[in-house]
Amino acid sequence: MALLEETGAFVFDLGMYLLFIALSIAFLTGSRLVARKGSTTSLVGANAATISLGTALILLGRKFDIAYTREITFALIVFGAVGIIMFARILREGTIR
């Protein structure tokens, strides 16, 4: 039974590390999209970078028992979404009302 628990813990840790690597690649891809020309591409890149960074923060908080990563992630995703909506509105209308 102990071997099964150790194997399960190993597989869980391996999955977390692989997910963290995938999220890092997604963040770098989103950052690269932000740097390109075109407002639509920049918005998609900013959204992808924000979501991948938030998910990575949740993973780090769970792995290393950091209590405040959920609050930081929540604020990051909410403010990121609000900023993207405001930026899209500025591009569409030209002003903020």
Number of domains in the chain: 1
CATH number of domain containing 87: 1.10.287
pLDDT at 21 over 90: yes
- pLDDT tens sequence across 74-88: 888 888 878 777 777
- Domain that residue 12 falls in: 2-93
Residue 66 zone, left/alpha/beta (φ > 0; ψ -120 to 50; rest): beta
Query: What is the model's pTM?
Result: 0.75
- pLDDT tens sequence across 62-76: 888 888 888 988 888
Q: What pLDDT is recorded for position 15?
A: 92
CB-based contact 34:49 (threshold 8 Å) = yes
